[in-house]
Structure 1
Amino acid sequence: MAVTLADVAARAGVSAATVSRVLSGNYPVADTTRTRVLRAVDDLEYVVNGPASALAAATSDLIGVLVNDIADPFFGIIAGAVQSEIGDGKLAVVCNTGGSPERELTYLTLLQRQRAAAVVITGGAVDDDAHQAALAARLRRLSDGGTQVVLCGRSPLPGTAPAGATPSGRDTGAEPGGIVTLAFDNTGGAQRLTEHLLTLGHRHIGCVAGPADRTTSRHRLEGHRRALTARGLPTEDERLTVHGGAYDRAAGYDGALELLRRAPELTAVLAANDTVALGVCAALRDQGLRIPEDVSVAGFDDLPASQDAGPPLSTVRLPLHSAGARAGRLAVGREGAPPGGVTTVRAELISRASTAPPPHRPSR
């Protein structure tokens, strides 16, 4: 017997009207209530009926693109590149999650309801096992319904490895309606950036990491610490690591001031991304410190503003536009998936004027 809206309501302990509000996304619902409803949807494997014209399969012209923050150039570049590749016959809808795991799941439910032809999910995920499991279940359900899922800038989710072949018979590692992953080498990129600072002679390197609950933050911090370990330097000194509440300028500014308070001897700062690095630079200048003469600063992503910073930022280049364009082609079937459905996009070290050897400080 098919699961009904009433079944979901009973499981979640809410009214059928509340379930409808959560699934439609048109009315405000408390986060705790939304979470209960979405968990009941997953537990019961409830499939929402979409428009009558799209009941048979995922044949709509809709492409959903999920981003954490459309105002962040990182996501704007990827989303724009996706849209440029999907063609005029498809409608791209950008869904701004604000970094909320509940909103991410809600958007996926809405896209399933509309029988989206494809879904592209960009950037890192919330570093939480329960959310990862719920997300994997939602993506499998989309995939089973014929929706092509592409993860761009996110690690593969457990239990979502694709298999099969395209209608043309070419073995690409993923079937139509499968799940394809374009993962960014955040760990390797951060390791190479830290190695760059170590090679310059820095030994007191502060890190303004991203939010502690994001996979991107964890991976980049792991790369940074891996480089320190390889040089025999301690990684357990928590004085030298500050987690920002976001990937924005304010996090960099506040993080740099905190690092200077904790460890005034630091000679370099590794930032979570270029925007955070710009905040770090502003804080250092306000404290009367020169970049890089007194403190070197490095970012990540190589956003356009990094070249115009004063001085230009050393950073790690992620090919955001080309990765987004490839995700768009994969979404509409204009490019075959990589073997196994997973590929890693390499990060490239870019050395500019914001990093230099540390200043000579005579011993006291």
Structure 2
Amino acid sequence: MTVTLSDVAARAQVSPATVSRVLNGNYPVAASTRERVLRAVDELDYVLNGPASSLAAATSDLVGVLVNDIADPFFGIMAGAAQNAIGEGAPGRAGGEKLAVVCNTGGSPERELTYLTLLQRQRAAAVILTGGSLEDPDHVAAVSAKLAKLTDAGTKIVLCGRPPVAGDASVAALTFDNRAGARRLTEHLLSLGHRRIGYVAGPADRTTTRHRLEGHRDALAAAGLPDGPTVHGPYDRRSGYDATLELLRRDPGLTAILAANDTVALGACAALRDRGLRIPEDVSVAGFDDLPFSIDAVPALTTVRLPLHEAGARAGRLAVGTEEPPPGGVTTIPAELLVRESTARPRTAG
């Protein structure tokens, strides 16, 4: 029996027009209404007109690449590399290129689920999810269920810089070793003699934030030191600026600041300069990711390099089948410490 848009509307107790707005994402809809519609779509297995059984083995030439913020170089680099690899990869069904579509969620869990539903309806050949995931049990369960339906319908799923889906080896995952990278960065500062280190963290509900903070605190614990002051915020320059002022308020004697990423580090540097402090003579600053501008900052940023372009390209090849999945479905990509001019021994160290 064919499931229609009207069937979904009846199940969700909304109008067909509202269902269309939710699935097309072209008109604002209340979050509670959106959730009802998406739940009805899942319950009825509404994909496209036609029996669900005929869709199980049918996929289009579409590949979706989900990012939190396309303006953030972290996501832009991975998405661009993935798109290039998809275009250069296996041909589409008619002999032409597969079409890579970048879906910008803005960090919204609702938008992430909406895009996954839209890609399911379009019978996407593959979906690449980039960056850390939201640490909310309900959202994790909803995404896992959606990914399972996509894979059941023949869609390849690739995670790039995102933790693997527990118990699902059919989903290829390229994970970044954020813990080890943050630990090495903290050990570098400790080796220089820093003992009063502030930390500007990312959003508290993201896996990337937790893993990097855990690595930092593991290094402190191994050195017999307590956790230093920590401030959470978005992964942007303004957050780095405001958080650094707060860290200095909490501990005016800080000798080093670790930032959640290089963009946040730029904000931290600006705040220190506005307070009349020199980098690294008064306060050392370190970032994370090795974004393209980090080496051109003044002074050049000590950071942790993640091979974003290489990871994105590999995700694209996995999506179109020109590279075999890693054994067990999961590969951990190492992080490399890059020591530059923004870190030095504190003045109080001998």
TM-score bin, normalised by smaller chain: over 0.9
Letter of the 2:334 counterpart: R
What whole-Å deviation, never above 9, does each CA across 1:279-324 have from its counterpart, x for those lacking one?
0000001100000010000000000100000000000000000000
How much has 1:8 moved relative to structure 2? Answer: 3.8
Instruction: Tell whether 2:252 aligns with 1:264.
Output: yes
Match of 1:48 in 2: 47
Give the whole-Å Cα distance in 1 for the aligned partners of 2:272 and 2:209: 22
Of 199, 204, 209, the residue aligned with 1:217 is: 209
Match of 1:153 in 2: 161
Q: After TM superposition, list the pairs within 5 Å mapping 1:251-330 onto structure 2.
A: 251-330=239-318
Provide closer, same or farther for how the CA distance between residues 3 and 284 of structure 1 changes in structure 2, counting only shifts above 3 A. same
Q: SS state of the match for residue 87, structure 1?
A: helix
**TM-score normalised over the length of structure 2:** 0.92
Answer whether contact 2:134 2:207 (CA < 8 A) is retained: yes
What whole-Å deviation, never above 9, does each CA across 1:70-116 have from its counterpart, x for those lacking one?
00111111011001111251111000000000000000111111111
Instruction: Tell whether 2:62 aligns with 1:62.
Output: yes
Answer whether contact 1:73 1:303 (CA < 8 A) is retained: yes
Answer whether contact 1:190 1:223 (CA < 8 A) is retained: yes
Answer whether contact 1:59 1:116 (CA < 8 A) is retained: yes
Letter of the 1:317 counterpart: R
Letter of the 2:174 counterpart: L
Provide closer, same or farther for how the CA distance between residues 337 and 7 of structure 1 changes in structure 2, counting only shifts above 3 A. same
How much has 1:6 moved relative to structure 2? Answer: 4.6
How much has 1:10 moved relative to structure 2? Answer: 4.3
Letter of the 1:78 counterpart: M
**TM-score normalised over the length of structure 1:** 0.89
Give the whole-Å Cα distance in 2 for the aligned partners of 1:55 and 1:130: 28
How much has 1:3 moved relative to structure 2? Answer: 5.5
Match of 2:76 in 1: 76
What whole-Å deviation, never above 9, does each CA across 1:112-149 have from its counterpart, x for those lacking one?
11111111111111111110110011111111101111
* C-alpha RMSD of matched pairs (Å): 1.9
Give the whole-Å Cα distance in 2 for the aligned partners of 1:45 and 1:326: 35
Give the whole-Å Cα distance in 1 for the aligned partners of 2:5 and 2:221: 54
Match of 1:174 in 2: none
How much has 1:30 moved relative to structure 2? Answer: 1.4
How much has 1:15 moved relative to structure 2? Answer: 2.9
How much has 1:343 moved relative to structure 2? Answer: 0.7
Match of 2:92 in 1: none
Match of 1:359 in 2: 347
Give the whole-Å Cα distance in 1 for the aligned partners of 2:332 and 2:291: 20
Match of 2:230 in 1: 241
Please, which moves more after superposition, 334-343 or 86-95? 86-95
Matched pairs, number: 340
What whole-Å deviation, never above 9, does each CA across 1:250-274 have from its counterpart, x for those lacking one?
0100010110111111110000000
Match of 2:198 in 1: 206
Give the whole-Å Cα distance in 1 for the aligned partners of 2:280 and 2:162: 32
Instruction: Tell whether 2:100 aligns with 1:92.
Output: yes
Q: After TM superposition, list the pairs within 5 Å mapping 1:71-150 onto structure 2.
A: 71-87=71-87, 89-150=97-158
Q: SS state of the match for residue 277, structure 2?
A: coil
What are the ranges of 5 or more consecutive residues in structure 1 without an aligned counterpart? 163-178
